[in-house]
Amino acid sequence: MPFFDGHNDVLIRLSDDQPQAWLTGHPATHLDLPRARRAGMFGGLFAIYTESQWGQPIDPAVAVAHTDCVIDRLNRMLDHANDSVRLVRNMAELDACVRAGAFAVVLHIEGAEAVAADLSNLDYWYERGVRSLGLTWSRTNAFAQGVGPGDTGEGLTAAGRDLVRQCNARGIAVDLSHLNDAGFRDVADLSQTPLIASHSNARPLCPNERNLTDDQLNAIRNSAGIVGMNFHAAFLRENGTPQSTSVRDIADHACYIVDRIGVDHVGLGSDFDGCDIPADLVDVTGLPRLADTLRDRGASQADLDLFNWKNWRRVLQATWK
Ligand code: ZN
């Protein structure tokens, strides 16, 4: 069964001097190429994330240097891949990649600090292959505010609104996960493309501000958008840990969202290698077990195809044009 995952972190974890580690097997991670193959995963979005102390703003120059460094590292890894992994930048490349049996990497930046506030380097990132952008991680920057406890922050800045328009114009996906509620509303009002929350769950089931309210889910449905299910234990259940959560909790969130806004708007958004996943999922090879659990809950093969990859393909196609 094929899987396309809307949010992975793993590429940035690879050490500089071992660009082939992800290709040959990297057991300390949730996801490497051999295990992705075993699971049936054929691609996904891969996030570049610049670390800072929790909630602290980040120096844009640091973010630029780090983002360049990760893309360089990815390119070195691709040089070792013998065409078994490809950076894909449009739908024709994604489809050709799948037909060739290669693994598709879509580049995502998580938190737009690497983008200059006047957007003067947005085309540079586009040229380097970035096709998806989260305005914030959970911190404040020139464009927007991230979620935090209480979540009472402001919406997008003028630069943030400009960034959404310019992403729309270029066909760069705008990711709402990590954005605060006011920012979510602003993007929903402004964006011309399907709304994407690449790795978030249902707030009514787990009251964490990283999860989505019913109103936000409705906005995603109304835009023909998608929610990628996040596997982080604390976003599955209040105070959840890998031991106290299971694949069934992921299925609970998926079923809640399907019941509320329909099967056309839910997909995978694991956050592999960026979070603590339920112990019984183990790693990417647990994806078929998630599919089996959803089948046990009544999902048809057509539903599973939408959930596992077709919804992501449709949304990316509508976004990239
Ligand atoms: Zn994230």
Q: Helix/strand/coil (H, E, C) string of the chain? A: CCEEEEEECHHHHCCCCCCCHHHHCCCCCCCCHHHHHHHCEEEEEEEEECCCCCCCCCCHHHHHHHHHHHHHHHHHHHHCCCCCEEECCCHHHHHHHHHCCCEEEEEEEECHHHCCCCCCCHHHHHHCCEEEEECCCCCCCCCCCECCCCCCCCCCCHHHHHHHHHHHHHCCEEECCCECHHHHHHHHHHCCCCCEECCCCECCCCCCCCCECHHHHHHHHHCCCEEEECCCHHHHCCCCCCCCCCHHHHHHHHHHHHHHHCHHHEEECCCECCCCCCCCCCCHHHHHHHHHHHHHCCCCHHHHHHHHHHHHHHHHHHHHC
d(CA 231, CA 253): 10
pLDDT per residue as tens digits for the range 165-191 = 999 999 999 999 999 999 999 999 999
pLDDT at residue 175, as a whole number = 98
Question: Residue 39 is encoded by which pair of tokens?
Answer: 């699971």
Determine the Cα–Cα distance for residues 194 and 264; give it in Å rounded to an integer: 12
* Region of poorest pLDDT, from 30-44, 66-80, 141-155: 141-155
Spacing, Cα 181 to ligand 1 middle (Å): 16
Q: How far is the CA of 92 from the centre of ligand 1 (A)?
A: 27
Confidence of residue 149 (pLDDT cuts 50, 70, 90): low
141 Cα to the center of ligand 1, angstroms: 15
Lowest mean pLDDT among 23-27, 180-184, 279-283: 23-27
pLDDT at residue 12, rounded to an integer: 62
Looking at residue 74, its pLDDT comes to 92
Distance of CA 100 from the midpoint of ligand 1 (Å): 30
d(CA 202, CA 257): 7
Q: How far is the CA of 273 from the centre of ligand 1 (A)?
A: 10
Amino acid identity at 181: D
Cα 312 to ligand 1 centre (Å): 17
Q: How far is the CA of 177 from the centre of ligand 1 (A)?
A: 7
Which of 152, 151, 108, 145 is closest to 130 using CA atoms? 108
| Centre of ligand 1 from the C-alpha of residue 178, in Å | 7
Number of structural domains found in the chain = 1
How confident is the model over 29-41, as a mean pLDDT?
Answer: 95
| Ligand 1 midpoint to CA 75 (Å) | 23
Q: What CATH code is carried by the domain that includes residue 288?
A: 3.20.20.140
Question: What distance in angstroms lies between residue 199's CA and the mean position of ligand 1's atoms?
Answer: 7
Which range marks the domain in which residue 305 is found?
Answer: 3-320
Q: What is the tens place of the pLDDT at every residue in 296-318? A: 999 999 999 999 999 999 999 99
pLDDT over 90 at 16, yes or no: no
